[in-house]
Each structure stands twice: as C-alpha cells, then as structure tokens.
Amino acid sequence: MPELILIDGSQGEGGGQILRSALALSMLTGKPFRIENIRANRNKPGLMRQHLTAVNAAAAVCSANVSGAAIGSRELAFEPGAVRAGEYTFSVGSAGSTTLVLQTVLPPLLVAAGRSTLALEGGTHNIHAPPVDFLEYAFLPLVNRMGPRVSVTLERAGFYPAGGGRILAAIEPAEKLSPISILERGEIHHRMAKAICAGLPGSPCANWKWFASSWAGRTNRCKSANCTKGRGRGMSSPSRSEASM
C-alpha cells in the first residue's frame, strides 16, 4: 500500500475545499490519506452534511475504506480502491451544495473506464458555492475542451433552508486528458441574466423580467422565458426569467 499522506485541514482557509481536493486526488492517484483538523477555521468545525456526502460519494465511486465519516468528525482516514464508472445517486439531506459534491467525484470519473451518470439532491444555488448555472455555462465547457464530454441538467432547484433540489450529470470519460491553455480573455459574445424563484410572495420573477428586459432591450435582443411556479419555500421546479443580449 502507498505511504499514508497526512494533511492538516486547518491550513489555508481551513474550510471544506482541502478535504474535497484530497478526496479527488486520492481517487486519481490511489494514494491514501489522513486529514486532521477538518474545517478548523469555520464556526462549526468538522464534517457537515455536504462534506459527509462528498466523503460517502467518493467512497462509493472507488470502494474506499473510510474511518471517521460522521457528522461533526474532525478527523478522517481514506484508503481508495479502483474507480468504478456507473450510475450513482447522492443525497445531501439538507440544502448543502450538490455542485461541491459533484466537484469531488468528477475528476476521477473523467478518466474512468466507462460512462457515468449522477443524480445529486440538495442545494443547487448556495452562498459560497458554484451554482449549477456556473457549471453549465462556464466550468464544464472548459472541462470538455480537455477531451471528456460532461453535461449537467437542473431538474429541480433547491435553496436554503429546505434544499430539495436535484441535478443530473452525464459523464463521457476521455482516455487521456488533453492540456488546455487559457492565457487571454476572449471577446464577449453574449450576456444573460437569469432569476430563479421558489415559494416567494408576490411575483419577484415577473419584476425581474421587466428589469432584465429593459436592460437587455438596449440592443433589441431580449429573450425571456417563464417556467412553472415554485412548490414551496426553498424548493421548486425552476421558476425563472431570462434576458440575453
């Protein structure tokens, strides 16, 4: 077995990212690790539901041996096995970020032996986490330039405090990742504003549609879309307005 890597989770910002990165790299390299002082610089240190879901997701994808996987745990040992492509469903059980869970297991699945599909349930638009729209429009197009084909679909939006959102990810791996070079910012070809509402009083999406249409109307190229009404506080089928220019 490769030598165990020891990690101090209080380093840097001392948050959850060092754990998620360690899990992803461990699965990719096959190297086990032990992390201490998990999220030491947070108001509530230790594993929260989103972080525990990321650990359990990583363990499921590579049949890892894990100790310390519990809510509030500040230490964790992770010994990875072989990465297995397949169909997976992971539920945070709160409004914790689904995109950060995806961020954890995506790197090894990009070079796995077959296609994978993931269903992730929880929060889809969270403070201090990339929303699913960022993955769709910014992050994944760059990932796909390296060879794999990854798509993400927002099936149901989920917000704090109820969560209840659901995203679907489809991953066609590449035999080998190709390097990309992004040294300069390209020209702006398109701008878009989107509002997604769930269970709010009044009609905030209608108000946003008027504002966004006025903004995008400067170029007379405005597109707006109305979707179904939200189904309760913090959970909805996406109720949104869009404007592009």
Cα separation, 36 vs 111, in Å, equals 29
What is this structure's pTM? 0.84
Answer whether residue 218 shows pLDDT above 90. no
CATH class of 1-83: alpha beta
Write down the domain spans for the chain: 1-83, 85-175, 192-244
Cα separation, 76 vs 84, in Å, equals 22
Q: Which whole number is the average pLDDT over 157-168?
A: 91
Q: Which whole number is the average pLDDT over 19-31?
A: 97
Short-list 147, 151, 139, CA closest to 176:
147
Spell 130-146 as b/e; 16+ CB within 10 A means b. bbbbebeeebbeebeee
CATH superfamily of 85-175: RNA 3'-terminal phosphate cyclase domain (3.65.10.20)
- The whole-chain average pLDDT of the chain stands at 86
Q: Which residue has the higher pLDDT, 9 or 190?
A: 9
Q: Which whole number is the average pLDDT over 183-208?
A: 73
Contact 154, 167 (CB under 8 A): yes
The amino acid present at 35, given as its one-letter code, is: I
Mind listing the pLDDT tens digit for each residue in 75-106?
Answer: 999 999 999 999 999 999 988 999 999 999 99
